[in-house]
Chains A and B, each alone.
Chain A
C-alpha cells in the first residue's frame, strides 16, 4: 500500500506542473490587462505602466513562468495583484470555508442519496421506488441557486430557524450544505439504486437469502458493500467538483470560499491568485482520487492484494 501511495504521489508532480503551465498560458492569453483593471478607470497611462513593471508583467511570458515556478518550489505563490497580500494568505483565509462546505455538502448528499437509493432498490417498482427517484430527479434538476434561495425563504424568513447566510457556527452551514448536497444526492441515489439492483440479482445474494438471513442483513452485510464501490467513485468526483464548483452556493449564502475568490480574481485578472487556486484545486483532486483508491482497498479485499 505504501508503494502504491508513493507511486501515486510521484505521478501527481508532473500532473501539477502541467496544470501550472496550462493555467499560466490560459490566464495570460485571455484579453484584459490586470494593471489597467486594478489601476481603475481614472488611472493615467503612466500609472498603469508603472504597475505593470512593478508586478513584472512587462517581462516575456517564458521568463514570467520560470520565475513563477522558481518561487513555487520555494513555497511562494506570490502576492495578489489586487490586494498585495500573499496568495497563500488569500487562499488560506478562504479554503477552510470551502472545505467545510464541500464536506458537509457531500455528507448530506451521501446520506440522502444512499438512503433513497437503497430504499428504491430494495422495493423496486413500488411507490417508494418511484417516490425516491422522482425526488432524486428533482434534486438533479434543481439549480442550486434556486434551491438555496428557497431554503433561505423557508427556514430563515418564514420559520426564522436558521441564519440566511454568512459564517460563525455550525448552524450557518446547514442550509448551504443541503443546497449543495441536494443536487449530488440525486446523482448518488440513481447510481446506488442501479448498483444495488444489479448486485441483488446475483447468485450469492440468492444463497444468502436461502440460508435464511433477514432481508436487512442481506442488503446491508452482503449487497451494499459491493454495490457501493462505484458510488464511492461518484462521491469522490462530486466532492472534488464541490471544492471548485460551489461558487453559486457561496454567493447565495455569502460564504467566503475560494469559488468566490476565484471569480473575483478572474474578473480582476489577478494572475497569482488564479494560478494559486487552480493549483490547489488540482492538488485536491489528486488527493481525493488517491483517497478513493484507498477506500476501494477497504471495501474490496481483492484490490488490497
Chain B
C-alpha cells in the first residue's frame, strides 16, 4: 500500500473502479438480437423533422410520407404520376364537371375498430383544408358532402380537372372522425387512428416515430412488423447509420456520395423521378432584367448540362420547361436554350447592354448543392460579361424578400425550388398568372394577357385534350418570355440497406404505403 494512503481506501477504490468498468462494459456491449431470426423491423432515417404524427398538422414532405402510413390515401399517384384507385375505388364527374363523386372501398377497417365511411372522408378533407397547405391545395373546393356511407361528393367553384390528382397529395390522410372527436383535435396526435398499414405506437418529437403493423389493413397484412422513422438532420450521420446497420433506408443523399456508396454491393441506390425542380425567378417589372433579351441571354449562358453532369453526377435532369417532365400537360419542345455563350453575347449586344449587373437572392442549404449551383452560374455568366452578385440569406429572410409586393420589392432575381404537387403541369406553372403577384407566388411579377387568358381557359376546361394543349401553349409563352429560367430537376436520392425490397417512393419524395415492403 502506498505510504500516506488511508487504510482501507484502496480496496474500496478498486471495487468502485471494477464497478465502473462493469457498468461501462454493459453499456458498450452491443444489444443482443435473436440469432437467425428473420428481420421484421424497418428503420428509416429521414433528413427532415416530423412535427407531429397527425398528418393534417404536420409539414415537410418526406415526413408527411412517414405519417401517411397511418392515414392512407384516397387515391394513389405512382412514380409516373398516374392516379390509381386506393380507398376510393372509382369516381365520376357530375354537375357539368363542377363535382366529383368518389366511391369508397367497402369494409375498410380503421385502427380504432371503426369502418371507414363517407363521413370520415368528408371530415378528414375538411380538417385537412384547415391546414395552410390544405387550404392552398384545395382552395377551389366549395363543399364536401356525404351522398351515402360509401359516396362522397366534392364540389368546386368551377370545373377543376386536376382535383383527382390533388386528392393524391400525401398530406391528405383519412382519419376516424370518432377518434378525433373522442380525443379532441389536439390530443388526437397521441391516438392517431386511420385505415393505413401501420399505426403509430410511439412518437418522440425530434427523435423518432415508431409504427406497428395494422394486421387488418384492407390491402393485406403488412410483411414488416415495425417501422421506425428516425429524424436525422445530418446527411453524414444518416449515411454512417446506414453503413453501421442502425438504419435500413435513408433519404436526401447528395449525388457526391453515390459513387462511394454504389461500391458497397449491399446497398441499393434509388433515384425515382422527382416532382421538385429548380429555377431562377427574374423580376420582370423592375430592375436590370426587364428586357426579354437579357433573360434569354442568361438562359443561353448557363451550362445546365454541365451542372447536371458535374455537380449532380448525372443524377439530376436538365429542366426543359417550367413544369417537370412526366406530369400531365408537360412539354419540353420549347427549350431552345442549349448552352451557347456566343448567342448570349449577341443578345446582350442586341439589347445594347454592355455591363449587365444583377443580384441573385439565394438561401444556402435550402436544397441540394444550391451553393455550388449558384457559384457555377456566376462563373457561366461572368464568361459572357454578366456580373451576378450572390446575396445569401437565411430562409425566413429570403422568403420575406421574395414575397414582397411590387411597389416595395428590391429583388432582381432569386434561386428557388418548385414542384407539382398533383402530377399536373397546372400546379407547376399556374402561379405565373398576373393575379398571383406577391404576396402570391408569381415572384417574377410576370404579366401577360395571353397567358392569363389561357390560364382561365385551362382552369375551366373539362376536355383533357384541349386542356393539355392549353397547358403546352402556356409553357411556350413562359419559355419565350423567361420569367424564370428553368435549371434542373432535383434528384430524389434514397439509399436502402441489405435486402429491403418492395418499397416505392413517390415523385414528392414520400414513401408509398409500406405494406408490401419486406427483407429478402
Which residues on A are within 8 Å of B, measured CB to CB? Answer: 30-34, 36-45, 47-48, 51, 82-85, 90, 93-94, 97, 148-149, 152-153, 156-157, 160-167, 169-171, 174, 213-214, 216-217, 251-257, 260-261, 264, 266-269
Chain A, residue nearest B397 (CB): A31
B132 A31 Cβ-Cβ under 8 A: no
A171, closest chain B residue (CB):
B27
Which A residues are in CB contact (< 8 Å) with B230?
A: 165-166, 254
Contact B27 A174 (CB under 8 A): yes
List A contacts of B236 (CB < 8 A).
149, 252
Contacting residue for A254 out of B135, B234, B399, B400, CB 8 A: B234
A267-B441 in contact (CB<8A): no
Q: In the bound complex, how far is the Cα of B184 from the Cα of A188, in angstroms?
A: 51
Q: Report whether B234 and A251 are in contact in the complex, using a CB–CB cutoff of 8 Å.
A: yes
The reply to whether A32 and B136 contact each other, CB–CB distance below 8 Å, is no
Give residues in B with beta carbon < 8 Å to A. Answer: 2-5, 27-31, 45, 49, 51-52, 57, 59, 132-133, 135-137, 139, 186, 204-208, 230-234, 236-237, 240-241, 243-246, 394-397, 399-401, 403, 418, 421, 439-441
A-B contacts besides A161-B30, A169-B27, 4 pairs, CB < 8 Å: A161-B28, A166-B207, A167-B204, A217-B5
Indicate if the CB atoms of B400 and A36 lie closer than 8 Å: yes
Give 26 pairs: A residue, B residue, CB < 8 Å, sorted on A.
A37-B395, A39-B132, A40-B132, A41-B418, A41-B441, A42-B133, A47-B135, A48-B439, A84-B57, A85-B186, A148-B237, A153-B240, A156-B246, A160-B30, A161-B29, A164-B246, A165-B246, A166-B208, A174-B27, A214-B5, A252-B234, A252-B237, A254-B232, A256-B207, A267-B394, A267-B395
Inter-chain contact A157/B237, CB cutoff 8 Å: no
Instruction: Indicate the member of A157, A164, A169, A266 with the most B CB atoms within 10 Å.
Output: A164
* Docked CA distance A166–B233 (Å): 11
- Output the nearest chain A residue to B416 by Cβ-Cβ distance: A41
- A153 and chain B: residue at smallest CB distance: B240
| Cα separation A213 to B2 with both chains bound (whole Å) | 11
A83 near B207 with CB under 8 A, answer no
Report A219 CB to chain B, min CB distance, Å. Answer: 11
In the bound complex, do residue A164 and residue B244 qualify as a contact, i.e. CB atoms below 8 Å apart? Answer: yes
Q: A214-B5, A254-B207 are in contact. Are A157 and B233 (CB under 8 A)?
A: no
Contacts A47-B136, A149-B240, A256-B231 hold; do A37 and B399 have CB atoms under 8 A apart? Answer: yes
A42-B137, A256-B205 are known contacts. Are A216 and B399 too (CB-CB below 8 A)?
A: no
Given contacts A43-B136, A160-B244, contact A152 B4 (CB under 8 A): no
Residue A269 contacts which of B133, B396, B439 (CB distance < 8 angstroms)? Answer: B396
What residue of chain A has the Cβ atom nearest to residue B417's Cβ?
Answer: A41
Shortest CB distance A143–B (Å): 13
Q: Are B244 and A157 in contact (CB under 8 A)?
A: yes
Query: Are the C-beta atoms of A165 and B139 separated by less than 8 Å?
Result: no
A247 nearest in chain B by CB position:
B233
Instruction: From the candidates A30, A38, A45, A90, name the one contacting B132 in the complex (CB within 8 A).
Output: A38
Q: Which residues of B contact A48 (CB under 8 A)?
A: 439
Which A residues are in CB contact (< 8 Å) with B231? 254, 256
Complex Cα distance, B29 from A162, in Å, reads: 7
Q: How far is the CA of A149 from the CA of B243 in the complex (A)?
A: 13
- Choose from B30, B237, B399 the contact partner of A33 (Cβ within 8 Å): B399
Given contacts A82-B51, A213-B4, A254-B232, are A47 and B206 in contact (CB under 8 A)?
A: no
* Residues of chain A with a CB closer than 8 A to B240's CB: 149, 152-153, 156-157, 164
Flag if A167 contacts B207 (CB, 8 Å).
Answer: yes
Question: How many Å from the CB of A295 to the closest CB on chain B?
Answer: 22
Cβ distance A64 to chain B, nearest Cβ, rounded Å: 18
Q: Does B51 lie within 8 Å of A83, measured CB to CB?
A: yes
Q: Please state if B399 and A36 are interface contacts (CB–CB under 8 Å).
A: yes
| Chain B positions within 8 Å of A149 at CB level | 236-237, 240
CA distance A253 to B208 in the complex (A): 13
- With A32-B399, A36-B403, A94-B206 given, is the CB distance from A251 to B246 under 8 Å? no
Taking CB atoms, residues of chain B closer than 8 Å to A37 are: 395-396, 399
Q: Which residue of B lies closest to A151 (CB)?
A: B240
Query: Which residue from A152, A161, A162, A214 sits with its C-beta under 8 Å from B2?
Result: A214
With both chains docked as a complex, state the minimum distance between the C-beta of B3 and any C-beta of chain A, in angstroms: 5
Asked whether A32 lies within 8 Å of B396 as measured between CB atoms, the reply is yes
* B233 and A43 form a contact (CB under 8 A): no
Q: How far is the CA of A82 from the CA of B243 in the complex (A)?
A: 33
CB pair A31–B59 under 8 Å, yes or no, is no
Are A267 and B396 closer than 8 Å at their CB atoms?
A: yes
Bound-state Cα–Cα, A274 to B5, Å:
53
Q: Is the CB of A257 within 8 A of B206?
A: yes
Name the contact of B237 in the complex, choosing from A34, A170, A251 (C-beta under 8 A): A251
Residue of A nearest to B437 (CB): A45
A82 CA to B133 CA, complexed, in Å: 13
**Cα distance, A47 to B130, chains bound together (Å):** 10
Q: When chains A and B are docked, how far (Å) is the Cα of A256 from the Cα of B204?
A: 8
Indicate which residue in A42, A165, A257 contacts B441 across the interface (CB closer than 8 Å).
A42
Give the top 9 A-B pairs by smallest Cβ distance, nearest first. Answer: A32-B396, A256-B206, A214-B4, A256-B207, A42-B136, A39-B132, A254-B232, A156-B244, A31-B397
Asked if B234 contacts A31 (CB within 8 A), the reply is no
Contacting residues, chain B, for A268 (C-beta < 8 A): 396
Question: Is the CB–CB distance between B132 and A43 below 8 Å?
Answer: yes
B516 → A minimal CB distance (Å): 27
Chain A: CB-nearest residue to B365: A267
Complex CA distance for A253 and B5, rounded to whole angstroms: 43
Is A217 within 8 A of B4, CB to CB? yes
A261 neighbours in B (Cβ, 8 Å): 205-206
